[in-house]
Structure 1
């Protein structure tokens, strides 16, 4: 069966049995994270919602018969506690949580919030969970990126906007490019251990992610870049995440970027879709990995 823009998470996972599989969904208490966690649990997976708001997460977990674990991606001690407390194999890691276009905000370390949350927090989580992923004998990591990666490559000379003017969308774009580059390099490093990582754009969905954005900004950006007018429901927005996490067609596939349940085509000038070449550059991916390790100490 072919899936596309309007497919839902339930449709892409139909017929797939995840009994005996364990899955972590970051940000699984809101937006497409809820629908991702719901679909995985419905297919039989043991789902752990990793969330900062444990109370909100518990309400969702009770509804879908999942578990909750506290995780604040901007707090490295929280990430270390999560990975330290994990026991046993992990089959699916869905790096779903994120922040989009806030005013300039820094973590206690001085890191720009979007890069710290969207990339560094998930990087620390995945590397900390490596033994559990390697023990799964065929693990997948799903990196929820965005077509917003087209806004910016990684600006290595000033990742955290210490010298250049901060623009929320440049910061967001850079962090989403990092999500894709992580998938590229994680697959290169970890494929021999049976761990494959892919990235994706979930589509245009109205969720709490846009809480920092004014409607006029959203409309202006969509007009300027020619974004599709098609708005997905959260269930449709979760479809590509679930597809990348579970489809048998992607066994042994990694380092790719997906849109609408299919591998994305190269970005074309004047369009707001596809994959930018800088987001798949092998040298850039390796450099980002090393910079991330150094940054986290």
Structure 2
């Protein structure tokens, strides 16, 4: 194998040729180099195809990750909507219990007695596996709380029926479309500049705005008061009454039965008033209570 070798190269059809002489070890070296080049080409081709395959897989995983992230964000929005609905149900339940004097002991407003704001507690977690576990745990707690609230609502319905409470007779709607100029409670009097207890709330509205009965009842008073203002008082039974002051006029009479939403007069500034508004009071057995306790709509 390591003898002398000749390589004859013919240049054209006239018989011209050229001889190349080289030793056997050089020929073997050339063969090894050729084999190395072929092997390198094969390796590079395999590497190229592996690279392309991994590139496709990476693109697929990135697309799948983006889809999973979009699903998690969508699921987060749905969970927050459920939280909002559950909070609204609890608020409605608490209001009804206060309205019919069925107050219960304070209870936690979130599963486990802790703040369970999904957005703040769970979304900052970077590992999707951990996020999935937390999400399933949160949904399980939310499902349990929803079932508990449903049981409480059924209990409340039974209690209301037993107490013979007619919700249509309660002042659950706003008597006038406007904005609260002075809430129920302590305030500084606009006339004396001293602190006083405001027994109702003032709802500011333009003169002539319709005043409607917030619930069914019987008119206990309708007319002018000592301060020169026009007032209507409606008896909603059960010791509950509502009064409407500083009106421009009254459209009902004493002893008349009014339906919820019926127009009883219009906003004015009669009597001792600093501007056009409706002074709205609710009293339970003669004691002033916050009208917001009853408003549900």
Q: TM-score, normalised by structure 1?
A: 0.19
User: Larger RCO: Structure 1 or Structure 2 (Cα < 8 Å, ≥ 6 residues apart)?
Assistant: 1
Structure with the higher fraction of residues in helix conformation: 1
